[in-house]
Amino acid sequence: MMETVRIYHSTWRMLLLALASLAFAVAGFLMAIHSTKGFHIVVGWIGVVFFGLGGLYMLYATLKERLTGKPFLTITDEAVIMEGIKQAVILFADVESFNVVKMGRQEFVAVHYKPDVERQKLDEANTFGRSIRWLNLRLVNAQENISTTGTGMKAQELCDLLNERTLPKRTSPFT
């Protein structure tokens, strides 16, 4: 039996990311209200929505972790439990493997489900969820991924830890 691993976001990193996002939202707002060109107005409002919601989510996630004591990721022998807007559980029994994927300068841990589970996940998702899963499949060849942004753990380190738990448990022939 392996020990349970709990991974929290760094409060300072998350607050800095939230402040940076909110600064971009303010810049977008200023662009939108001070511009006379339609394109700049649209880009400004898109920036307000995108960065504003991102910054607010980071504040929410940080406060939720600190107030409830629930980590962003909990890794047990059976599953990875990810806390977000809603909780996601990834059972190791459903996973073929994990690998690190890169999008721009960002690294994620991609979750590769067994074929029957992959089909089931798509079938069970609502329309929006199915769209996100298809988009992820096209971008990183996996329906789901795990970000380590804002945590103290590198993507490769998390990937290695998860793959260790995915491998079939071997018993010693001498026991």
Please write the tens of the pLDDT for every residue from 42-74: 999 999 999 999 999 888 888 888 898 889 999
The whole-number pLDDT of residue 169 equals 53
Q: Please state, for a pLDDT cut of 90, what percent of the chain lies above it.
A: 50
pLDDT mean over 123-146: 88
- Average pLDDT (71-81) is 93
Statement: residue 96 has pLDDT above 70: yes
Which residue stretches of 35-144 are H helix?
Answer: 38-68, 115-124, 127-140
Contacts of 127 (CB under 8 A, 6+ apart): none
Q: What is the arithmetic mean of pLDDT over 113-139?
A: 89
Separation of alpha carbons 43 and 128, rounded Å? 24
Cβ 18 vs Cβ 59: under 8 Å: yes
* CB neighbour list of residue 38: distance below 8 Å, 6 or more residues apart: none
Contact indicator for 150, 9 with CB cutoff of 8 Å:
yes
> Is it the case that residue 167 has pLDDT exceeding 80?
no
Which of 35-39, 129-133, 157-161, 165-169: highest mean pLDDT? Answer: 157-161
Q: Give the bridge partners for 145, in sequence order.
A: 110
Q: What is the pLDDT of residue 173?
A: 52
Q: Nearest 10 degrees: CA dihedral of 56, 62, 68, 74? A: 120
First to last CA, the chain: 16
Q: What is the sign of the dihedral through the CA atoms of 48, 150, 13 and 9? A: positive
Distance CA 84, CA 105 (A): 22
pLDDT at 21 over 70: yes
107 strand-pairing partners: 102
pLDDT band at 148 (very low <50, low <70, confident <90, very high): confident
Output the pLDDT for position 175: 44
Length of the chain in residues, anyone? 175
Residue 22 pLDDT grade (very low, low, confident, very high; cuts 50, 70, 90)? very high
Please give the Cα distance from 1 to 80 (Å, whole number): 15
**Average pLDDT of every residue of the chain:** 88
Q: Half-sphere exposure of residue 83, counting CA atoms within 13 Å on the CB side?
A: 20
